[in-house]
Chain A
């Protein structure tokens, strides 16, 4: 959901919808609701307190025609686009760290093969490794949905299970 508002500050908490990427800083909260097999990728630079959240839907954008137009749709292109935007905003590439959440597989349909959520997780990890960005926390897989809240300033990622347990986990 693109927000039209006063620049440069974005409203808090900003909602990051599917295939979207939002870069922010400080205490702004970035939220993605109801992730099932989609993957939330949070990158942040603890020194400059600049960070961003992507809500990726598919693993690999390199073969897709529209990944230039929608880099946030694919885990690998989303990571590259997030990183680029953060660096443009003053983040230092070498100090950026990553946290990921989501990638559940709640349905065991034949057409889903080895799991659509799992493929997103693998793609994100591969891309982070390729770019040398350390993955410092992950809350992935399983069979339940998640809602995530990310604060770039502190790098804190709060993950709430969306199932009956309603459990909340915080990754500082």
Chain B
């Protein structure tokens, strides 16, 4: 299987189109105004998909199997409460609290209409027919019930393969009801589509896998560095390789004050690397790194003085070196990074300059998106590595996949001595 940016761009447009149709149909059916949130093409491993999905809230899914121009399956996932609220808008029954027969059938109907919306969007763009099976209702907490038992998808059935996954978010305006849509095409079906849509020689899929494994090393390296410098045990919680339109990158950053450290890097590939902490996490890190500053002594927890700023900047700098050294080792090249730029601003504003800069050359970007967390300490760090597209393609083509395996793995974070 080979892919190129043009083919992935078409996929992305199909996913957006499908999300638009699904949102429109939901509005039509329930009279609830809806908007399409972020749409992403993810490359994720089965185990990571399950981990990202398992947030121990009960979910309701409506799953259909697809055949024809796309084979695989499509799942609409609501949180339980959201499903009940939607049912309330279409069933006259007051205050539905449980999943009785009527609720089940109403929610299945809603989910099915939305699945069909997505699929119709895809079929429109592909100008082909996609057949949809009868819907299956799934109510559970874990990912197993939603995603397993499906043969031959490039999906989470196979734990360690890099799966191509389409994710979209639809939200209702004015209320807190959101849904996610997941589409897992089979490997075979994707391969055929990619061959049809590709306009260049493309990149072999296993190169992308190699690169992703390399990024995994980088992510672990960041966690190790953070653990060493702060003495707080941190680990990689979620890691995915996204293919998104540039506009979607700032949109996926939370609308809140964030503290960040940004770099540009130069080499093959070149690009940008941004670490973002929410204020609370940044504060905890500062407290761990600068023990002389007691809580509350310097007033507003949302303000960072020079010493605190430099502590975070230094942490960012060391994390960046670790991350990029990992890439450079595997690619057998040198990747230099700039001096760090500290930023304390509303989330989107911290990444939009990078997006604006890349936007003059490319429409889409591969984003290596990682969340580092400290168990039980409420510390989150989001890492966005956004390579320049042309360089990334070159770097991928030069990548010797076997070398990824040969390169020594960095120390597991559990082995780091924090004393």
Residues of A participating in the B interface, judged by any CB pair closer than 8 Å: 1-6, 11, 15, 17-19, 33-38, 57-58, 66, 73, 104-112, 116-117, 120, 144-147, 162-164
Q: Establish whether residues A116 and B353, one from each chain, have CB atoms under 8 Å apart when the complex forms.
A: yes
Residue from B264, B345, B346, B356 in contact with A116 in the complex, judged by beta carbons closer than 8 Å: B356
Q: Which of A1, A4, A57 neighbours the largest number of chain B CB atoms within 10 Å of its CB?
A: A4
Residues of B within 8 A of A105 (CB): 353
Instruction: For the complex formed, measure the closest distance between the CB of A40 and the CB atoms of chain B, giving whole angstroms.
Output: 12
Q: Known contacts A4-B36, A36-B352, A146-B349; is A164 also within 8 Å of B264 by CB? A: no
Chain A interface secondary structure, helix, strand, loop or mixed?
Answer: loop
Instruction: For the complex formed, measure the closest distance between the CB of A17 and the CB atoms of chain B, giving whole angstroms.
Output: 6
Q: For the complex, give the distance between the alpha carbons of A144 and B257 in Å.
A: 12
Chain B interface secondary structure, helix, strand, loop or mixed?
Answer: mixed
Residues of B within 8 A of A4 (CB): 20, 23-24, 26-27, 33-36
Using a Cβ–Cβ cut-off of 8 Å, how many residues does chain B contribute to the interface with A?
46
Q: Known contacts A1-B37, A3-B35; is A145 also within 8 Å of B356 by CB? A: no
Residues of A within 8 A of B347 (CB): 34
Instruction: For the complex formed, measure the closest distance between the CB of B6 and the CB atoms of chain A, giving whole angstroms.
Output: 12
Q: Establish whether residues A164 and B350, one from each chain, have CB atoms under 8 Å apart when the complex forms.
A: no
Q: Establish whether residues B346 and A108, one from each chain, have CB atoms under 8 Å apart when the complex forms.
A: no
Q: Establish whether residues A106 and B348, one from each chain, have CB atoms under 8 Å apart when the complex forms.
A: no
Q: Which 10 A-B pairs have the closest CB atoms?
A: A145-B349, A34-B348, A5-B33, A162-B346, A36-B349, A36-B352, A18-B247, A37-B353, A109-B264, A34-B346
With an 8 A cutoff between CB atoms, is B285 at the interface?
A: no
The interface stretch among B45-53, B212-220, B357-365 is: B357-365
Residues of A within 8 A of B344 (CB): 163-164
Q: Establish whether residues A163 and B345, one from each chain, have CB atoms under 8 Å apart when the complex forms.
A: yes
Residue from A19, A163, A164 in contact with B247 in the complex, judged by beta carbons closer than 8 Å: A19
Q: For the complex, give the distance between the alpha carbons of A57 and B359 in Å.
A: 8
Residues of B participating in the A interface, judged by any CB pair closer than 8 Å: 20, 23-24, 26-27, 31, 33-37, 173-174, 246-247, 250-251, 253, 255, 257, 262, 264, 270, 272, 302-303, 338, 341, 343-357, 359-360, 363
Q: Establish whether residues B353 and A162, one from each chain, have CB atoms under 8 Å apart when the complex forms.
A: no
Q: Establish whether residues B349 and A57, one from each chain, have CB atoms under 8 Å apart when the complex forms.
A: no
Q: Known contacts A66-B363, A116-B357; is A18 also within 8 Å of B352 by CB? A: yes
Listed A/B pairs (21) with beta-carbon separation below 8 Å: A1-B36, A2-B35, A2-B36, A3-B33, A5-B27, A6-B33, A35-B348, A36-B356, A38-B250, A38-B356, A58-B359, A106-B350, A106-B353, A107-B262, A109-B341, A116-B357, A117-B353, A144-B345, A145-B350, A163-B344, A164-B303
Interface contact tally, CB-CB below 8 A = 137
Q: For the complex, give the distance between the alpha carbons of A112 and B346 in Å.
A: 21
Instruction: For the complex formed, measure the closest distance between the CB of A34 and the CB atoms of chain B, giving whole angstroms.
Output: 3
Chain A's closest residue to B173 (CB) is: A11
Residues of B within 8 A of A3 (CB): 33-35, 173
Q: For the complex, give the distance between the alpha carbons of A73 and B26 in Å.
A: 28
Q: Establish whether residues A33 and B33, one from each chain, have CB atoms under 8 Å apart when the complex forms.
A: no
Residues of A within 8 A of B250 (CB): 18, 34, 36, 38
Residues of B within 8 A of A37 (CB): 352-353, 356-357
Residues of A within 8 A of B26 (CB): 4
Q: Known contacts A4-B20, A5-B33, A110-B338; is A57 also within 8 Å of B173 by CB? A: no
Q: For the complex, give the distance between the alpha carbons of A73 and B341 in Å.
A: 26
Instruction: For the complex formed, measure the closest distance between the CB of A109 and the CB atoms of chain B, giving whole angstroms.
Output: 4
Residue from B20, B251, B341, B354 in contact with A18 in the complex, judged by beta carbons closer than 8 Å: B251
Q: For the complex, give the distance between the alpha carbons of A11 and B241 in Å.
A: 34
Q: Establish whether residues A111 and B357, one from each chain, have CB atoms under 8 Å apart when the complex forms.
A: yes
10 A-B pairs besides A34-B350, A112-B353, A116-B356 with CB distance below 8 A are A2-B36, A4-B27, A6-B31, A34-B346, A36-B349, A58-B359, A104-B353, A109-B341, A145-B345, A146-B349
Residue from A6, A17, A144 in contact with B251 in the complex, judged by beta carbons closer than 8 Å: A17
Residues of A within 8 A of B264 (CB): 107, 109-111
Residues of B within 8 A of A108 (CB): 341
Residues of B within 8 A of A19 (CB): 247
Residues of A within 8 A of B34 (CB): 3-5
Q: Establish whether residues B346 and A107, one from each chain, have CB atoms under 8 Å apart when the complex forms.
A: no
Residues of A within 8 A of B262 (CB): 107
Residues of A within 8 A of B35 (CB): 1-4, 15
Q: Known contacts A33-B255, A36-B352; is A147 also within 8 Å of B33 by CB? A: no
Chain A's closest residue to B19 (CB) is: A2
Q: For the complex, give the distance between the alpha carbons of A108 and B303 in Å.
A: 22
Q: Establish whether residues A117 and B356, one from each chain, have CB atoms under 8 Å apart when the complex forms.
A: yes
Residues of A within 8 A of B351 (CB): 36
Q: For the complex, give the distance between the alpha carbons of A147 and B302 in Å.
A: 18
Chain A's closest residue to B357 (CB) is: A116
Residues of A within 8 A of B37 (CB): 1
Q: For the complex, give the distance between the alpha carbons of A110 and B341 in Å.
A: 12
Q: Establish whether residues A38 and B23, one from each chain, have CB atoms under 8 Å apart when the complex forms.
A: no
Q: Known contacts A4-B36, A36-B352; is A58 also within 8 Å of B360 by CB? A: yes
Residues of B within 8 A of A162 (CB): 257, 345-346, 349
Instruction: For the complex formed, measure the closest distance between the CB of B303 and the CB atoms of chain A, giving whole angstroms.
Output: 6
Q: Establish whether residues B348 and A33, one from each chain, have CB atoms under 8 Å apart when the complex forms.
A: yes
Q: Which of B255, B347, B353 neighbours the largest number of chain A CB atoms within 10 Å of its CB?
A: B353
Chain A's closest residue to B21 (CB) is: A4
